């Protein structure tokens, strides 16, 4: 049902494991200058006027950010870098995709696939 906008959860958690230290992943992913290298949607020329505001730098791996689109719409994106734990050198990056009003199942699935691809790109840039 591509026109159904209520059948799935309003949020979807998309994650990737990165074999790199959480501090390095956080530093790279939170750098606005690096966004075009791994966030394909924000590298789109039609979004060249989009503004991305990250949460203040913090020691907890919080990368929540708001994207203000050229249309004026603001999209809030919760995101975390989670250390693997004692003895682990890697970390998990979790992006919470929030379903905006009016988004169809097909559009939500396409957004989730785009986020997953972006996280894979991030992994490729950070793993040795």
User: What pLDDT sits at residue 44?
Assistant: 75
Report yes or no on 83 lying in a domain: yes
Mean of the per-residue pLDDT values for the chain? Answer: 90
2, part of any domain: no
Burial of 18-51, coded b for 16+ CB within 10 Å and e otherwise, reads bebbbeebbebbbeeeebeebbeeeeeeeeeebe
Domains identified in the chain, total number: 1
Structural domain boundaries, residue 96: 11-126
Reply yes or no on whether the pLDDT at 105 is more than 80: yes
pLDDT per residue over 45-84, tens digit each? 777 788 899 999 999 999 999 999 888 999 999 999 999 9
Instruction: Give the strand order in the sheet containing 65-68.
Output: 51-54, 65-68, 74-77
pTM: 0.87
């Amino acid at each position: 049902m591509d026109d159904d906008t209520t059948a799935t959860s309003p949020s979807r958690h998309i994650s990737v494991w990165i074999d790199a230290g959480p501090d390095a992943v956080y530093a790279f992913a939170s750098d606005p200058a690096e966004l075009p290298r791994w966030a394909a949607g924000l590298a789109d020329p039609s979004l060249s006027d989009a503004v991305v505001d990250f949460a203040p730098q913090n020691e907890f791996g919080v990368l929540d950010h708001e994207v203000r689109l050229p249309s004026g719409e603001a999209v809030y994106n919760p995101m975390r870098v989670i250390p693997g734990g004692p003895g682990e050198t890697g970390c998990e990056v979790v992006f919470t995709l929030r379903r905006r009003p009016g988004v169809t199942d097909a559009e939500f699935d396409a957004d989730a696939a785009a986020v997953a691809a972006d996280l894979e790109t991030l992994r490729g840039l950070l793993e040795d």
